[in-house]
């Protein structure tokens, strides 16, 4: 009999790759808001009783970073209350819960890759709501794994590479922030890492991102370089990429200035390192070319 695993946020970007890379012997119970409102504890309990999952993979999240500044209640409802409800339903049944979190839980004022045990000082409503979900999961206890990631992109949702290539086809000049440093992460690679960690029964916190680091400005320049090489952007198309500061961009929510995650624990568990971010970007762009 296949193992039933409840997947929340099933119509999101990450979940699309989670479903595509599903191991043999797993039956996903796919839910999104229409099928399961994780913010309602009674609804969660009833759903668990009816579906009887053997594990839960929580890909549901409120991710509108800037909108959260004026929508605190909704952000905390999904990112904290929803996580706590799932954790309680899992703990009472002694089944594992895998939760996806973010580099935003860190203040981001350092200069070395952030380890799982480093102190969290989230800034802004979105960041605080995600950290609150982590803490709720810890307090409930049981069998849990929280996978933190950064700068996620993939083909099944809005993403930075597609945006840069689109804008490069429309404008002669792009301004991109150069004082935030992190690691772009391909959703396909994160999904594969999650399945690996689940297979090995990993618990606690694990960081996963593609190897290496860059600023958003450096990321944009690499997207254009690879895009030209792959024919996604005309080699004759002249686009000036201009670095600016976060202050110049003036977004409502603060961002970590340095949120590169250490993947040492993931390497120790999986037995191999993640793919370098430039290689992952090339894989993504090649797939985009084939689709076009």
* Best CA proximity match to 256, nearest among 153, 185, 184, 181: 181
User: Per-residue pLDDT tens for 267-281?
Assistant: 999 999 999 999 999
| The pLDDT of residue 221 is above 90 | yes
Question: In angstroms, how far is CA 179 from the centroid of its own chain?
Answer: 21
Q: What phi and psi, each to the nearest 5 degrees, are found at residue 19?
A: -70, -40
Question: What's the pTM?
Answer: 0.97
| The pLDDT of residue 236 is above 90 | no
- Residue 123 CA to residue 138 CA, distance in Å, equals 20
Tell me the three state secondary structure of residue 215. strand
- Residue 257 CA to residue 243 CA, distance in Å, equals 15
- Residue 216 CA to residue 5 CA, distance in Å, equals 36
- List of domains in the chain: 3-158+184-212+259-275 (3.40.50.720)
- Mean pLDDT within 210-217: 98
Percent of the chain's residues with pLDDT above 90: 96
Annotation says 126 is catalytic: yes
Q: What is the pLDDT of residue 254?
A: 94
- Residue 11 CA to residue 8 CA, distance in Å, equals 8
* Best CA proximity match to 156, nearest among 23, 287, 290: 287
Q: What phi and psi, each to the nearest 5 degrees, are found at residue 274?
A: -65, 165
Burial 123-135 (b: 16+ CB within 10 A, else e): bbbbbbbbbbbbe
In 9-150, which ranges are continuous DSSP H helix? 13-20, 41-51, 72-76, 83-93, 125-140
Q: What is the pLDDT of residue 140?
A: 98
Mean pLDDT of the chain: 97
| The pLDDT of residue 26 is above 90 | yes
What are the angstrom distances between the C-alpha of 7 and each of 17, 63, 168, 201, 258? 12, 17, 36, 17, 31
- Residues 6 or more apart whose CB falls under 8 angstroms from that of 285 comprise 161, 223, 226, 227, 230, 232
Question: In angstroms, how far is CA 252 from the centroid of its own chain?
Answer: 21
User: Per-residue pLDDT tens for 30-73?
Assistant: 999 999 999 999 999 999 999 999 999 999 999 999 999 999 99
User: Per-residue pLDDT tens for 108-157?
Assistant: 888 899 999 999 999 999 999 999 999 999 999 999 999 999 999 999 99
Catalytic residue among 126, 153, 258, 266: 126
């Amino acid at each position: 009999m296949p193992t039933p695993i409840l997947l929340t946020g099933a119509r999101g970007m990450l979940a699309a790759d989670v479903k595509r890379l599903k191991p043999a012997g797993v039956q996903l119970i796919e839910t999104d808001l229409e099928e399961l409102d994780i913010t309602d504890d009674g609804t969660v309990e009833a759903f668990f009783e009816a579906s009887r999952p053997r594990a839960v993979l929580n890909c549901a999240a409120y991710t509108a970073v800037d909108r959260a500044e004026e929508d605190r209640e909704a952000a905390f409802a999904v990112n904290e209350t929803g996580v706590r409800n799932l954790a309680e339903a899992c703990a009472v049944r002694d089944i594992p819960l895998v939760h996806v979190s973010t580099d935003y839980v860190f203040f981001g004022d350092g200069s070395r890759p952030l380890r799982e045990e480093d102190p969290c000082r989230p800034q802004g409503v979105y960041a605080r709501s995600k950290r609150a979900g982590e803490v709720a999961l810890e307090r409930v206890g049981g069998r849990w794994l929280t996978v933190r990631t950064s700068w996620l992109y993939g083909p099944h949702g809005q993403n930075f590479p597609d945006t840069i290539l689109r804008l490069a086809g429309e404008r002669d000049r792009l301004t991109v922030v150069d004082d935030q440093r992190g690691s772009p992460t391909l959703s396909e690679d994160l999904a594969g890492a999650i399945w690996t960690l689940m297979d090995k029964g990993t618990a606690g916190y694990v960081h996963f991102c593609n190897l290496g680091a860059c600023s958003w400005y450096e990321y944009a320049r690499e997207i254009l370089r690879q895009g030209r090489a792959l024919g996604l952007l005309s080699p004759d198309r002249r686009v000036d990429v201009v670095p600016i500061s976060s202050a110049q961009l003036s977004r409502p929510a603060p961002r970590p200035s340095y949120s590169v995650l250490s993947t040492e624990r993931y390497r120790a568990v999986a037995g191999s390192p993640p793919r370098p971010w430039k290689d992952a970007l090339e894989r993504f762009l090649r797939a985009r070319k084939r689709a076009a």
